[in-house]
Every structure is written in structure tokens, then in C-alpha cells.
Amino acid sequence: MNTSFDLVIFDCDGVLVDSEPLANQLYVQMLGEFGHRVNAEEYLQEFSGALIYKRLDATSKKLNWTPPADFLSSFNERLSILTDKELKPVVGIHSLIESLSVPICVASNGSRKEIAHRLKVTQLTGKFGKAIFSGLDMPHPKPAPDVFLAAAKAFNVSPARCIVIEDSIPGITGAVRAGMRVYGYAAFTSGESLRKAGAIPFDNMMELQTILSDSSTIAVS
């Protein structure tokens, strides 16, 4: 069967696993422990897809607050525990992956250790194996295109024949810069914002499965 794509590149947090609410919940809780009460919903929307150190830098400036030196290490340790207890796969993601007939991989700004841990907890390890690409291993993480281009190169696939599944503006920006078609999951970012960034928005994985199934019948010369 001719298809319009030869590789599907998935972001991890917010696309494969429902980790964004957990990370935000813990982050807001820890800020509260230092006396800073913030709006959890606003922070979820503002920082979805952001690297934790950039999130903390923006927050410290906004609150005129100097976080303790061990804030990030404490956050990561507590998030790992929370992940083991509560992390779930995004609804419909297993079915979507099983419907695909082309290779798949993960391209995330998380560390390889974090990605592998989250895939294991949500029983997705077997779907991806070692096909994991971390933006932290690249010269520049998202919104740079490096991690997406590295994935395409590893599979010997032209960027034009790759599609990317993302849920954040930095991720979409990186994929667009890589010359790839991007589908944006409108979970915590509006469809309009995703569209403006260059993505084709969708509301749930069942919808995306239908979209990609239709795309698989399109021959691209």
C-alpha cells in the first residue's frame, strides 16, 4: 500500500503518556510549600511542554523568588514516585499505535531515562523498543528541529515523509522547522494556537487514528 508517510514520530509527555497534569500538580504543590499560591490551570496551559528548568526560571522571575538549589532534584525524585503510582497512557494511544503499518519512534525533550521509565509504566516499551530520541542528547532541544531530524536520519527517511504527533508549541515549532507535517493534540493548548504554530489540530487519539488511516490511502510521488 502506498502511504503519505514512512515514519511517525511521537512526542512523549502529553501525547503518549498523560504526564503533564501530574508534573503540573507536583510543581504547583511544591511552589505552595514555599508559600507561593498559583493557579494550577493557568500554569498547566502556560508551561505545557516546557523543560522543567525553563519553567522554574520563568516562575522565579515572575514571583521574584530564588528557589533552593535542590528544587529540581527534589522535583524529579518526587515526580518519579508519582509516575510509578499514577501515570496513565493517553486514552486511545495503544489503539492508534497498533493501527499504524510504518515504523514509529519517540522524540522528546525529556531524558532517555525519563522517557524509558514512562513508557514502561504505561506498557508502551514494547511498542518502541530502543527507538527513543532525547532532545537533551542534541545540540539544541525543542523548539530546535535537531531531535526530529536525528530521528528521521536514524530511520533513513526524508523529513518530508515523516509525520509528528505533538501537543506543545515548542514541539510543533521544532517539527515545522524540520520540514515535517505535524498533528497537534489539543489537550491543554487550544486548537487555534496549535494551528497558528503550524500543526493540524485534533481533539483525541481516535480522531487522529481516522485521519491517519485516511492518509494511508494517499500516494505521494
Give the span between the Cα atoms of 217 and 22, in whole angstroms: 38
pLDDT band at 48; cut points 50, 70, 90: confident
Give the chain's largest Cα–Cα span. Answer: 59
Based on the fold, state whether residues 33 and 134 are members of the same structural domain: no
Based on the fold, state whether residues 55 and 108 are members of the same structural domain: no
Bridge partners, 8 (sequence order):
104, 163
Based on the fold, state whether residues 42 and 80 are members of the same structural domain: yes
Q: Is residue 202 part of a domain?
A: yes
pLDDT of residue 216: 55
Q: What is the mean pLDDT of residues 94-106?
A: 97
Total tally of structural domains belonging to the chain: 2
Strand ranges, E, within 17-144 = 104-108, 132-134
- The CATH number given to whatever domain includes residue 49 is 1.10.150.240
Residue-number span of the structural domain to which 113 is assigned? 7-18+88-215
- The CATH number given to whatever domain includes residue 128 is 3.40.50.1000
Instruction: Give the pLDDT confidence of 152-171 residue by residue, as tens digits.
Output: 999 999 999 999 999 999 99
Give the span between the Cα atoms of 51 and 203, in whole angstroms: 24
Query: Phi and psi for 82 in degrees, rounded to 5?
Result: -65, -35
Based on the fold, state whether residues 57 and 163 are members of the same structural domain: no
pLDDT of residue 219: 38
State which of 86, 101, 135 marks the end of a domain: 86
Based on the fold, state whether residues 107 and 208 are members of the same structural domain: yes
The H or E element that residue 217 is part of is none
Based on the fold, state whether residues 107 and 197 are members of the same structural domain: yes
User: CB–CB of 143/175 below 8 Å?
Assistant: no
State which of 68, 86, 104 marks the end of a domain: 86
- Comparing 30-39, 42-51, 169-178, the range with the smallest average pLDDT is 42-51
Q: Is residue 133 part of a domain?
A: yes
State which of 42, 63, 86 marks the end of a domain: 86
Residues written for the chain:
221
Give the span between the Cα atoms of 200 and 153, in whole angstroms: 24
**pTM recorded for the entire structure:** 0.90
pLDDT band at 214; cut points 50, 70, 90: confident
Pairing of β 132-134 and β 104-108: parallel
